[in-house]
Amino acid sequence: MRRIPIIPLVIIIFFSFIAIFAPYISPYSPYEMALDDRLQPPFWQAGGSLAHPLGTDALGRDLLSRIIFGSRLSLLVAILALFLCGVIGAGIGIISGYLGGRVDIVLMRIADSTLSFPIILFALILMVAWGPMLSNVIIGISLVLWARFARVIRGEVLSLKEKDFIAQARIVGCSSVHIMAYHIFPNILNTLVVLLTLQLGWVIIVEATLSFLGAGIPPPEPAWGSMTADGRNYITTAWWLTIIPGMAIMLVVLAFNLIGDWLRDILDPKLRQV
């Protein structure tokens, strides 16, 4: 058995903590501009001060506060989008796998065509069509990512439905809906949990990418992706504006992936290729 990955766990707990308590721990409002204090460096750099520990951006907003509030957005989008993904993906996967036949063919071809599209491009098109908004980002990401869930879950269901206890449930007189909800679903929960954690990193990256491209969460919301984008113009003079939000994205994604790997190994070694 692999050991519990302590460091990733600490990182996730840390970011969840600052996300939940953002208004209480952030030193400034993330929207508050102070044009006198533009482009202040972090405190360890020459000219930096502890008044703005991570410095300020081009509009004089406190970077630390924006990172803290940004963690809220990132995790919120990730959790809601994954919830939707999980519901759609597991639902379609179970229906497709259990019912089989024509239903299966139609649903899986839809999933295939979704998968054959470059994710970012697809999400970008959706965003351009619907306009950048928090709810649109969440729905868009789930529409792009559900197919991965559906495919894996369907595979699992295909092997599950040949098991004797499913036949026994039919013999007892259970309806198909009942079997899917009470016999199949609990048995794919492991897989679903592993998939959710492994995809969490992906969702954060897609959201950050969309925000970076200006098609995600609209300004002045402090999304990590759009913060890296804003910092690009000052990369030679104020590198921290890009690097620090980038580091935040990297840390969270890495931590979730490591936790996901670990969960997969202890819950479901079969999934190793996913």
Partner 1 sequence: MTQLLLEVKNLKTYFFTRRGVVRAVDDVSFRLYRGETLGLVGESGCGKTATGLSLLRIVPQPAGRIVGGQIIFDGEDLLGKSEKEMRQLRGKRIFMILQDPMTSLNPVFTIGNQVFEAIKVHSNLPKTKVWSQAKEILRLVRIPSPEAIISYYPHQCSGGMKQRVVGAMGFSCKPDLLIADEPTTSLDVTIQAQYLRLLKEIQQWSQLAIIFITHDFGIVARMCDRVAVMYAGKIVEMANVGEVFDKPSHPYTVALMSSIPKVEIKEGKLPTLPGQPPGLHELPPGCSFFDRCAYTEKKCEAPPPLEEVGHEHWVRCWRHE
Which parts of this chain interact with partner 1 (CB under 8 A)?
A: 100-101, 162-165, 167-175, 178, 182-183, 186-187
Long-range contacts from 186-189, C-beta under 8 angstroms, 24+ separation: 187/160, 188/90, 188/93, 188/94, 188/153, 188/156, 188/157, 188/160
Kindly state the smallest distance separating residue 145's Cβ from partner 1, in Å.
Answer: 27
Q: Closer to partner 1 by CB, 36 or 162: give it.
A: 162
91 to 137, 149, 188, 210: CA distances (angstroms): 21, 9, 11, 27
**Do 78 and 207 contact (CB within 8 A), yes or no?**
yes
β-strand partners of 62:
56
Kindly state the smallest distance separating residue 168's Cβ from partner 1, in Å.
Answer: 4
Joined tokens for residue 177? 């809906």
Q: Closer to partner 1 by CB, 135 or 176: give it.
A: 176
b/e map 93-132, b = 16+ CB within 10 Å: bbbbbbeeeeebeebbeebeebbeeebeebbbebbeeeeb
Q: Closer to partner 1 by CB, 98 or 146: give it.
A: 98
Kindly state the smallest distance separating residue 95's Cβ from partner 1, in Å.
Answer: 15
State the amino acid at position 236 in one-letter form.
T
Kindly state the smallest distance separating residue 158's Cβ from partner 1, in Å.
Answer: 12
Kindly state the smallest distance separating residue 170's Cβ from partner 1, in Å.
Answer: 5
